[in-house]
Amino acid sequence: MGCWSARRPAISVVGVALTALLSVRRKGFVLTPWPWRSVAYLLTTVPVAFAAGVPIALFMLPWAVLFRRLSTGDTSPVEASVLLVLGFLLVAGGGPLVARPLSIVERFRLRLVDDRPLPAMPGPVEAGLRPWLRSVYGGARPSWELAYAAVLVTLVPLLYGLVFVALMLIVVCIAAPVLVGDGPVTFGVATIVTPAQAVPYSIAGVAALPAVPYLLAITAGAHGAAARALLGAGPGAALRAELVEVSRSRARLAGAFESERRRIERDLHDGAQQRLVGLTLQLGMAKLDLPEGTPAAGAVDSAHRQAKELMEELRQLIHGIRPQTLTELGLPAALRELADRAGLPVTVHAALPARLPDHVEATAYFVVAEALTNVTRHSGASSASVTATGEVDRLVVEIRDDGRGGADPARGTGLTGLADRVAVADGRMLLSSPAGGPTLLRVELPS
């Protein structure tokens, strides 16, 4: 579904029309490739419509017979029902077999009049006839494809026919002075007999010529819009694709926040924190040279004390932004530090062969930190354990405690917040906390 990236507004190029239908509103439309692309689309429609139309017409033969019988009144209810059902079976059974290849061809051909990529359709999961048949007949997609096939063999010929008549009319008008030589030419009520009479028609025909590219582009564009609406598989698909895009952008945002936090932590640590330690050190030195009891000594001593407090505050602040142990030593070390800081004895088993992506480490750390806080506050547990295991494509973190259990995500926001964080990382959170304990919180994060 990578093609969806092109839908992001930042990427669309301003000033360039994306479809034939939109192109007609631009200045200089006639000089763009759009008229020619439209012609190509219209011309290639003809063989495609024929190829699809013949089998579809065959499937609908029972209905045609029924229609004829009904119009002549020469039928019985049983025969009518049989024809109706037979037609339905043929259309429902054979239709998708025609509609699927048709939809593939048409999705491809749509590029002629529509530069916006279509959302990819889920094809058969595996190779083979059975999965293919399942994908052709199952789900909502086949009905949309059938609907398009129906439009292609009914409305499209009608529309194209009208356009063809209009074009012929213009051609005949222009050629009228020549044509009258072979005999009178009739336009509806008017009949032209002499070349002189034909001249105004010829002029009108020539005047109408510039409109031809517009007519063609609008026709091709309208057809393309219908194809897009039906072969993009309806509003559901657009919504699904939108959802995928939204969750991706959420993940991108979360990733961006994480690297930003990391940058801020690094900046504070390398900059402000280092300088502050240096400054406090200088104050400590200055204190040495001042005679005790003097006002200067008192002031410097107070400054030194404040600087030390500030050092501690800054350390806490930086730790809150992103723990240094996590940045520098990785998840296992950071989890052990969390365990050391917890209000109860915590055993840590963390075996990870390599560093994981930033946001995975950060999420896992956050989950364990929150979970241990919950354990300390609410569980009444006497000890807890944390395990972090790297599997092929995911990180599994489990936090157990021997407390009273009964943890409920519905009460309190702690667990909901955890679930949100895990969801952003595309992970899963599972909680088992029967009344009486023990509680097990399991989080799986794709890595």
Residue from the set 94, 284, 409, 438 that interacts with another protein by CB under 8 A: 284
Q: Does 310 bind another protein (CB under 8 A)?
A: no
The one segment of 214-222, 276-284, 361-369, 410-418 that binds another protein by CB under 8 A = 276-284
Shortest Å distance, C-beta 284 to another protein = 4
Residue from the set 340, 353, 392, 393 that interacts with another protein by CB under 8 A: 340
Nearer to another protein, 261 or 319 (CB): 319
Residue from the set 13, 288, 351, 392 that interacts with another protein by CB under 8 A: 288
Shortest Å distance, C-beta 285 to another protein = 6
**Residue type (1 letter), 437:** G
Nearer to another protein, 68 or 349 (CB): 349
User: 196 burial class (0-12, 13-18, 19+ CB within 10 angstroms)?
Assistant: exposed
Nearer to another protein, 247 or 306 (CB): 306
Shortest Å distance, C-beta 327 to another protein = 9
Q: Does 281 bind another protein (CB under 8 A)?
A: yes
Which residues in 47-76 contact another protein (CB under 8 A)? none
**Residue type (1 letter), 279:** L
Dig out the tokens for 373 from the structure.
């806080």
Q: Which residues pair with 437 in a beta bridge?
A: none
Cα separation, 365 vs 371, whole angstroms: 10
Closest alpha carbon to 66 in 91, 42, 41: 91
Shortest Å distance, C-beta 280 to another protein = 4
Nearer to another protein, 197 or 383 (CB): 383
Shortest Å distance, C-beta 343 to another protein = 9
The one segment of 26-34, 158-166, 212-220, 307-315 that binds another protein by CB under 8 A = 307-315
Nearer to another protein, 81 or 347 (CB): 347
State the number of binding residues for another protein (CB under 8 A). Answer: 36
The one segment of 51-59, 75-83, 311-319, 366-374 that binds another protein by CB under 8 A = 311-319
Shortest Å distance, C-beta 352 to another protein = 13
SS3 202: helix
Neighbours of 205 (CB within 10 A): 18
Residue from the set 69, 315, 378, 394 that interacts with another protein by CB under 8 A: 315
Q: Does 348 bind another protein (CB under 8 A)?
A: yes
Residue from the set 278, 298, 434, 446 that interacts with another protein by CB under 8 A: 278
Q: Does 274 bind another protein (CB under 8 A)?
A: yes
Cα separation, 390 vs 396, whole angstroms: 6
**Residue type (1 letter), 333:** A
Residue length, the chain?
A: 447
CA distances from 22 to 9, 76, 222, 368 (A): 17, 52, 10, 53
What φ, ψ does residue 14 adopt, rounded to 5°?
Answer: -65, 135
SS3 384: strand
Q: Does 333 bind another protein (CB under 8 A)?
A: yes
What φ, ψ does residue 197 adopt, rounded to 5°?
Answer: -65, -30
Cα separation, 422 vs 428, whole angstroms: 6
- Helix 295-321 × helix 274-289 angle, to 10°: 160
Residue from the set 156, 339, 360, 375 that interacts with another protein by CB under 8 A: 339
CA distances from 136 to 51, 107, 229, 239, 276 (A): 19, 16, 19, 22, 69
Place of tokens 């240094």: 324
63 and 87 in contact (C-beta within 8 Å)? yes
C-alpha 153, offset from chain centre: 32
Binding mask 381-420 for another protein (x = CB under 8 A): -xx-------------------------------------
Applying CB under 8 A, the residues found at the interface with another protein are 270, 274-275, 277-278, 280-285, 287-288, 304, 307-308, 311-312, 315, 324-325, 328-329, 333, 336-337, 339-342, 345-348, 382-383
